[in-house]
Amino acid sequence: MSIKKRGLIERLSEGTVLCAEGYIFELERRGYLKAGAFVPEVVLEHPEVVEQLHKEFLRAGSDVLVALTYYAHRQKLKVIGRENDLELLNRQAIRIAKRVAGKHDVLIAGNICNTWVYEPNNAAAAEEVRRQYTEQLAWAKEEGIDFVLAETIEYVGEAIIALEVIKSFGFEAVINFTPIYEQSKDGYDWIEACKILTTNGADVVGFNCARGPETILGLGKKLRSRIEGEVALVPVPYRTTDEKPAFEFLERLDGSSAYTLGLDQHFIDRDEAAQFAVQAKNLGVNFIGLCCGAGPHHIRAMAEALGKNAAASQYSPDMSQHGLLGIKSVASKNEKIILSQRQ
């Protein structure tokens, strides 16, 4: 007997939905795509690697597999001279995610993002944005997805086009803005920006990328108090601060920019990721995730903190078995004293 899969809105009405992201950064670290353009050529060149990462996020407890079509739009494919591969890349990304999803109780998100084409008050640019979203989602519709995640958008105008195109295909829409600065690039307060999208029919609105847990939660709190519907928070796993609220502003130890290649020293650990998940849930945020930089260990810790089942929990830490730290430790008395003094 086949069981009807619950859709995104149904799941959100029943509890939290955990969404693992960060595919681009993780696959760049593994050596399968180039930092700079950050275009997911890996979908075509090494589909087995994308498949493996989907598996890892699924095992870690993600409720959503985001098809790797981020930056797989015409504008970005042009940058790397692969415009001709556009359709195949989009279709293949969804097929890979669906293959991993199989019979698992997990949703497939189609993914669109900022185009780098949009300009306020430029009708030709708006039409080009619409054309790019339309072609991507037409392929997604044919391949079959459960909802669309539109993200890292900084213009309300571009987000509205994304929403209109998503709705024209009849999909549920999550629209996430990226709050690098204090306002959208077309001058809207972020909460106001989200309200406009909700009014226009977005099913979930919120923020992803740029801000770490520390600086995204405040925005989430304001958003939650002003929006009736479902809201999303998907920060990056880095320690941003009031002074440097987005990871674009973080620095290396020598004062040079850490964005994007020197961010490692600012990583949050798995416990901080779990803590964020609980804080977001307690605010009433139901769509919770982690963006650029996230790894399966972060996602598993978040899943466990949210009370979800994760296959990878079979191997969750048990430090009581550790040689130096554990209860049956064989470490010498001296070693234990040194370790305890360091903690």
The residues binding Zn ion (CB under 5 A) are 209, 291-292
Token readout for 1 is: 């007997």
The encoded tokens of residue 203 equal: 């099913």
Least distance in angstroms from the C-beta of 207 to Zn ion: 11
Residue 100 CB contacts under 8 Å (≥ 6 apart), including other chains: 51, 54, 55, 58, 65
| Exposure on the CB side of residue 336, measured as CA atoms within 13 A | 11
Distance of closest approach, residue 205 Cβ to Zn ion, in angstroms = 17
CB of 6 to Zn ion, least distance (A): 26
- For Zn ion, the closer of residues 147 and 238 by Cβ is 238
Which tokens hold the place of 190? Answer: 């972020």
Of 20 and 292, nearer to Zn ion (C-beta) is 292
Burial of residue 314 (CB within 10 Å: 0-12, 13-18, 19+) is: exposed
Task: List, in order, residues 6 or more apart from 297 with CB less than 8 Å away.
Answer: 60, 270
CB 215 within 8 A of CB 178: no
Instruction: Give min distance, CB of 59 to Zn ion, in A.
Output: 21
Min separation Cβ 294 and Zn ion, Å? 9
The helix/strand/coil state of 91 is helix
Q: In terms of Cα–Cα distance, which of 146, 159, 231, 170 is closest to 200? A: 159
Closest distance of CB 138 from Zn ion, Å: 25
What residues contact 184, with CB distance under 8 A and at least 6 apart? 154, 155, 156, 177, 190, 193
Specify the residue, 211 or 224, whose C-beta has the smaller distance to Zn ion.
211
- Considering the complex, what minimum distance in angstroms separates the CB of residue 8 from Zn ion? 20
Written as one letter, the residue type at 122 is N
Q: From residue 277, how far is each of 19, 138, 272, 298, 301 by CA, in Å?
A: 11, 34, 9, 10, 9
Kindly tell me which of 111 and 286 has the beta carbon lying closer to Zn ion.
111
Which of the 8 DSSP states describes residue 235?
-
How far is it, in rounded angstroms, from Cα 139 to Cα 133? 10
